[in-house]
C-alpha cells in the first residue's frame, strides 16, 4: 500500500507518524513545503478529554521516516491516482491525505484606495500614452505600499515580518476578534493600539459578555500594574522582579529564535512561496515594543488600547501629506488589481517590499471604518480568520461552506481514496453525531483528525476508539498569562434554535491571592452544555463529566457555582 500525506503541520505529521507506526511494511510519504515539521506533545492531561498541548518542531531530515520529501503539491491526477509535484514529478498513491492547513483571510481589494487620480485622458498620442502608463505605475506602487502595511500572522516568517515592522510603528490597528487578535492585544507593547471588531464585545468566538468583561478588566489590571511598575509607583524589589522576568523572557526569545534558525525557521515556506505551518504558542513573545512607546500610555512605555466595537475597515489609503483627513476617493476601475495573497498585485507588493516603500515609507495610513470613523495608523494587523489552503486541489473534490474539503465519518473526501485532516478539512459529520462537539481550527483538532484519518486509512478505526476525540469540544489555551479552558457548547453554539427561556448561564468570580478566576456554565433545561474556566478553578473534570453525563442539576439554580456546593458529589 502506498500512503501519501501532504502537509508538515500538526495534522500531517500526526497522520504520517501514525501510519508509519501502524503500517511498518507499507510506504508512507510525507510531502511538505516546509523544512520544519510540527508535532505536538501533551504538557498536562487535565481530564479524560482535556489536554494542554505544546508544539514541537523538528527538521524534516531529522525524522526516521522512510520516504520524506520536501516538495510542493501542485495538483492531483485523481484518475491516475498520483500527486503532481511542484518540481514536476508524479507521486503515485493508493491513499492520499490532504493536510495543507489554511491561510489568513485578507481584506477585499476594493478596500485599498490609491490617492493618484484616474487615468489621464488618452488622445492616442505617444505622450498621452506615456503619461497614462506613468500614472498607472504610480497607482500600482501606492497600492502595493498600502498592502505592505496590512499584515497577517500564520507562520514564523510572518511573525518576523511583523516584528520588524513594529519597530517602526507607533499606532497600530488590530482587526479581528478571535484567539490571534486576543494574543496580539496582550502581546503588543509600546504602541497605541486601536482594536477594531465587528462584534459587540471582545473575544466573540470564545467569550460571552460576562467572560469578555472579566478579561477586559484583567487586561486593564495588567496594563496598570506594568505601568505602575515602570513609573516607580511600586517598590524597587517588585521592579527587579519585573526586570528579572523581562530578562528571562528575552533569554527565552533568544533561545527560541536560535532554535528556529537552527530548524530553518528563517525559511519556513521552504519551497516557492507556499505558507509554512501555523506558528507555535510563543510567537507573541517575539514581538518587540513599538517604536514610539505609546503616546497615550502615560509614559509607561506600554501604549494604550482603545476598543472600536461593531465596525470593520471600509477603506485604507495614505493620509494626505498635509495631515488633513479627507474622504477616501471612490474606487477607480483600474485599482481593482490590488489583489489578495498570491495575486499579481500582491507579488508586486512583495517586490516593492524588497525595494522599500519609496515615497510612502513614512506616510501614516488613513483608515475609514464602516461606522464612519476615520483614524490614522502606521500599521494594520489583520486577524479575521482563515481559509483552507486548497487552491491546488481539483475543484471536483467537494467543498463545504467554510471552504474545507468535506469529509465523511471515515475522513474521506468525495473521492474515497483521498482523505483530509486539520485546517484543510471540514468535519461536519462529527458535529452531526456528537451534540457537544463542533469544529474550530485548533491544534488539538488538527492532531485528533490527523490520528483518526491515519486509523481510517489503515482500516483500524473500529479497534482504536480514536473517534472519541470528537465527543466533546475542549480547548485549553492561555490569554493574558491565565489558563483558559473551554468545554462543550461554552458560548451557546448550536443552541440558537432553543427557546431563550430554557437556556441559562451562571458565573462566578473569585479573588484569590494567586489571582482572579472566573467560571461560567451554560445550562439547557437544567443540564450543563458548556463552560468557560479562566484562571485556576479545579472544576475542569467535574464540569466535563456534567456535560457528558447530562445529569439534571437545574434544582441548584444559581447556587450551582457556590463554593460550598461540592459539585463532584453530584455524581455520588
Ligand atoms: P498547518 O499547521 O497550517 O500546516 C499545513 C502544512 O501544509 C504546512 O507545513 C504547509 O507548509 C503545508 N502545505 C500547504 N500547502 C502545501 C502544498 N501545496 N504542498 C505541500 N505542503 C503544503 N491553535 C490552538 O489550538 N491554540 C493556539 O493558541 C493557536 N494559536 C494560533 C496562533 C496563530 C498565529 C495561528 C496562525 C494559528 C493558531 N492556532 C492555534 C491554530 C492552529 O495553529 C492550527 O489550527 C493548526 O496548526 C492547523 O494544523 P494543520 O496541520 O492543519 O495546518
**Which residue owns the Cα nearest ligand 1 atom 44?**
442
Can you give the pLDDT at residue 289?
A: 67
Phi-psi region of 301 (alpha: psi -120 to 50; beta: other; left: phi over 0): left
**Are 478 and 285 a contacting pair, CB within 8 Å?**
no
What is the Å distance from ligand 1's center to 425 Cα? 12
Most confident of the ranges 22-36, 192-206, 232-246, 432-446: 432-446
Top pLDDT among 180 and 567 is at: 180
Q: Name the residue with the closest Cα to ligand 1, atom 40.
A: 442
Ligand 1 mean position, distance from CA 233 (Å) = 43
Pocket of ligand 1 (CB under 6 A): 6-12, 31-34, 38, 72-73, 99-101, 153-154, 179-180, 274-279, 281, 283, 389, 392, 422-424, 441-444, 446, 477
Query: How far, in Å, CA of 377 to CA of 28, rounded?
Result: 49
Mean pLDDT across the stretch 551-563? 90
- The model's pLDDT over 256-265, given as tens digits with 9 standing for 90+, comes to 333 333 333 3
Helix (H) or strand (E) segment spanning residue 464: helix 461-464
Q: Closest ligand 1 atom to the C-alpha of 422?
A: 52
Picking from 484, 567, 482, 454, the residue whose alpha carbon sits closest to that of residue 16 is 454
CB atoms within 10 A of CB 96: 27
Cα separation, 389 vs 369, in Å, equals 29
Lowest mean pLDDT among 250-264, 301-315, 364-378, 534-548: 250-264
Contact, 40 vs 53, CB < 8 A?
yes
Cα separations in angstroms, 143 against 317, 322, 487: 8, 20, 44
Closest C-alpha to ligand 1, atom 36 = 154
The residues spanned by each domain of the chain are 2-101+389-470, 149-204+259-320+337-385, 481-571
Cα 117 to Cα 130: distance, rounded to the nearest angstrom: 16
Most confident residue range from 157-161, 270-274, 390-394: 390-394
Q: How far is CA 434 from CA 207, 409, 467, 488, in A?
A: 22, 12, 11, 10
CB atoms within 10 A of CB 206: 22
Residue 17 main-chain phi, psi, to 5 deg: -65, -40
d(CA 312, CA 371): 8
Rounded CA-CA distance 28/252 in Å is 36
Candidates 484, 483, 444, 448; CA nearest to 466 is 448
Decide: 447 and 38 in contact? Cβ < 8 Å. Answer: no
Mean pLDDT confidence for 450-461: 96
Q: Which helix (H) or strand (E) holds 250?
A: helix 236-262
Q: Please, which residues have CB within 8 angstroms of residue 287's CB and are 6 or more apart in sequence?
A: 159, 162, 163, 166, 187, 188, 189
Give the pLDDT score at 495: 87
Mean pLDDT for the chain overall: 80
Which tens digits make up the pLDDT trace of 50-70?
Answer: 777 777 778 777 777 666 777
CA distance 347 to 349: 5
Centroid of ligand 1 to alpha carbon of 446 (angstroms) = 8
CATH class, domain 2-101+389-470, is alpha beta
The CA distance from 241 to 205, in Å, is: 34
Closest Cα to residue 98, out of 18, 154, 27, 31? 31
Cα angle: 428, vertex 340, 382; to 5 degrees: 70
- Domain 149-204+259-320+337-385: CATH superfamily is FAD/NAD(P)-binding domain (3.50.50.60)
Task: Give the residue whose CA is nearest to atom 4 of ligand 1.
Answer: 9
Which of 28-32, 325-329, 380-384, 426-430 shows the lowest per-residue confidence on average (mean pLDDT)? 325-329
Cα separation, 246 vs 238, whole angstroms = 12
- What is d(CA 469, CA 443) in angstroms, rounded to the nearest whole number? 13
Reported in sequence order, the residue ranges of 60-131 that DSSP labels E, i.e. its strands, are 67-70, 73-77, 82-85, 90-92, 95-98, 102-104
Start-to-end C-alpha separation, the chain:
50
Residue 241, helix vs strand vs coil: helix
CA-closest residue to ligand 1 atom 45? 442
Q: Which atom of ligand 1 is nearest to the CA of 13?
A: 51
Q: Is the pLDDT of residue 269 over 50?
A: no
Residues recorded for the chain: 572
133-142, 308-317, 377-386, 419-428: least confident range: 133-142
Minimal CA–CA distance to 87: which of 98, 71, 76, 100? 71
Of the candidates 83, 290, 82, the one whose C-alpha atom is nearest the C-alpha of residue 171 is 290
Three cell numbers written together for 175: 482587526
Q: Which residue has the cell 507521486?
A: 91
Determine the distance separating the centroid of ligand 1 and the alpha carbon of 31, expressed in angstroms.
Answer: 15
Ligand 1: residue of 70, 181, 270, 277 to mutate (most ligand atoms within 8 A of CB) is: 277
318: left (phi over 0), alpha (psi -120 to 50) or beta: beta
ipTM of the complex: 0.98
**Close Cβ partners of 113 (under 8 Å, ≥ 6 residues apart):** 146, 315, 316, 317, 328, 329, 331, 335
Mutate to test the pocket of ligand 1, among 34, 443, 477, 478 (most ligand atoms within 8 A of CB): 443
Three-class DSSP labels, 423-455: HHEECHHHHHHCCECCCCCCHHHHHHHHHHHHH
Say if residues 387 and 103 touch (Cβ distance below 8 Å): yes
CA 535/CA 521 separation, integer angstroms:
15
CATH superfamily of 481-571: FAD/NAD-linked reductase, C-terminal dimerisation domain (3.30.390.30)
Element (H, E) at 126: helix 126-148
254 has a pLDDT exceeding 60? no
Asked whether the predicted pLDDT for residue 117 surpasses 70, the reply is no
Using DSSP, state whether 521 is helix, strand or coil.
strand
Mutate which of 5, 7, 71 for ligand 1 pocket (most atoms within 8 A of beta carbon): 7
**pLDDT value, residue 188:** 83
Mutate to test the pocket of ligand 1, among 101, 206, 451 (most ligand atoms within 8 A of CB): 101
The pLDDT tens digits of the residues spanning 285-344 come to 777 766 554 455 444 556 788 989 999 999 999 998 765 554 444 444 333 333 333 333
Structure confidence at residue 278 (pLDDT): 65
**Which of 190, 125, 157, 359 has the alpha carbon at shortest distance from 266?**
157
User: With the CA atoms of 138, 141, 145 and 148 taken in that order, what torsion angle do they form, in degrees rounded to the nearest 10?
Assistant: 160
Residue with more model confidence, 426 or 127:
426
Q: Which of 119, 114, 105 is nearest to 338 (CA)?
A: 114
Amino acid at each position: 500500500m502506498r500512503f501519501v500525506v501532504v502537509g508538515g503541520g500538526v495534522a500531517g505529521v500526526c497522520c504520517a507518524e501514525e501510519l508509519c507506526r501502524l503500517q511498518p511494511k507499507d510506504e508512507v510519504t510525507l510531502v511538505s513545503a516546509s523544512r520544519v515539521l510540527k508535532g505536538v506533545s501533551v504538557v498536562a492531561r487535565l481530564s479524560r478529554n482535556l489536554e494542554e498541548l505544546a508544539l514541537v518542531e523538528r527538521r524534516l531530515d531529522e525524522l526516521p521516516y522512510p520516504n520524506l520529501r520536501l516538495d510542493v503539491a501542485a495538483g492531483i491526477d485523481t484518475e491516475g491516482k498520483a500527486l503532481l509535484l511542484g518540481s514536476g514529478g508524479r507521486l503515485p498513491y493508493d491513499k492520499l491525505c490532504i493536510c495543507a492547513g489554511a491561510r489568513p483571510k485578507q481584506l477585499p481589494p476594493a478596500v485599498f484606495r490609491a490617492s493618484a487620480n484616474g487615468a489621464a485622458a488618452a488622445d492616442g498620442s505617444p505622450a498621452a500614452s506615456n503619461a497614462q502608463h506613468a500614472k498607472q505605475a504610480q497607482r500600482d506602487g501606492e497600492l502595493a505600499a498600502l498592502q505592505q502595511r496590512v499584515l497577517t500572522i500564520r507562520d514564523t516568517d510572518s511573525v518576523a515580518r511583523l516584528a520588524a515592522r513594529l519597530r517602526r510603528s507607533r499606532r497600530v490597528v488590530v482587526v479581528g476578534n478571535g484567539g490571534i487578535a486576543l494574543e496580539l492585544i496582550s502581546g503588543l507593547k509600546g504602541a497605541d493600539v486601536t482594536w477594531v471588531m465587528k462584534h459587540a464585545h471582545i473575544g466573540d468566538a470564545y467569550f460571552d459578555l460576562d467572560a469578555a468583561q472579566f478579561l477586559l478588566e484583567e487586561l486593564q489590571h495588567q496594563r496598570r500594574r506594568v505601568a505602575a511598575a515602570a513609573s516607580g509607583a511600586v517598590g524597587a524589589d517588585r521592579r527587579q522582579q519585573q526586570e528579572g522576568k523581562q530578562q528571562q523572557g528575552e533569554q527565552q526569545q533568544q533561545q527560541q529564535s536560535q532554535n528556529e534558525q537552527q530548524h530553518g525557521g528563517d525559511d519556513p515556506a521552504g519551497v516557492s512561496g507556499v505558507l509554512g505551518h501555523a506558528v507555535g504558542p510563543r510567537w507573541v513573545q517575539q514581538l518587540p515594543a513599538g517604536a514610539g512607546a505609546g503616546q497615550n500610555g502615560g509614559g509607561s512605555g506600554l501604549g494604550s488600547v482603545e476598543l472600536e466595537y461593531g465596525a470593520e475597515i471600509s477603506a485604507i489609503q495614505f493620509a494626505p501629506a498635509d495631515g488633513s483627513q479627507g474622504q477616501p476617493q471612490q474606487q477607480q476601475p483600474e485599482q481593482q488589481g490590488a489583489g489578495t495573497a498570491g495575486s499579481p498585485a500582491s507579488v508586486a507588493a512583495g517586490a516593492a517590499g524588497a525595494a522599500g516603500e519609496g515615497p510612502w515609507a513614512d506616510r501614516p495610513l488613513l483608515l475609514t471604518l464602516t461606522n464612519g470613523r476615520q483614524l490614522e495608523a502606521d500599521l494594520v494587523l489583520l486577524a479575521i480568520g482563515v481559509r483552507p489552503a486548497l487552491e491546488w486541489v481539483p475543484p471536483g473534490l467537494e467543498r463545504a461552506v467554510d471552504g474545507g474539503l468535506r469529509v465523511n465519518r471515515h475522513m474521506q473526501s468525495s473521492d474515497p481514496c483521498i482523505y483530509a485532516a486539520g485546517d484543510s478539512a471540514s468535519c461536519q459529520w462529527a458535529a452531526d453525531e456528537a451534540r457537544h462537539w463542533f469544529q474550530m481550527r485548533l491544534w488539538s483538532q488538527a492532531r485528533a483528525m490527523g490520528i483518526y484519518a491515519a486509523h481510517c486509512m489503515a482500516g483500524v478505526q473500529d479497534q482504536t476508539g480514536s473517534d472519541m476525540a470528537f465527543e466533546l469540544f475542549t480547548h485549553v489555551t492561555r490569554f493574558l498569562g491565565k489558563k483558559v479552558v473551554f468545554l462543550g457548547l461554552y458560548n451557546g453554539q448550536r443552541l440558537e434554535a432553543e427557546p431563550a427561556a430554557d437556556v441559562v448561564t451562571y458565573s462566578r468570580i473569585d479573588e484569590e491571592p494567586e489571582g482572579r478566576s472566573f467560571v461560567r456554565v451554560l445550562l439547557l433545561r437544567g443540564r450543563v452544555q458548556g463552560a468557560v474556566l479562566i484562571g485556576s478553578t479545579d472544576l475542569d473534570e467535574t464540569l466535563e463529566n456534567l456535560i457528558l453525563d447530562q445529569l439534571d442539576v437545574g434544582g441548584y439554580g444559581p447556587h450551582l457555582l457556590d463554593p460550598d456546593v461540592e459539585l463532584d458529589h453530584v455524581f455520588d
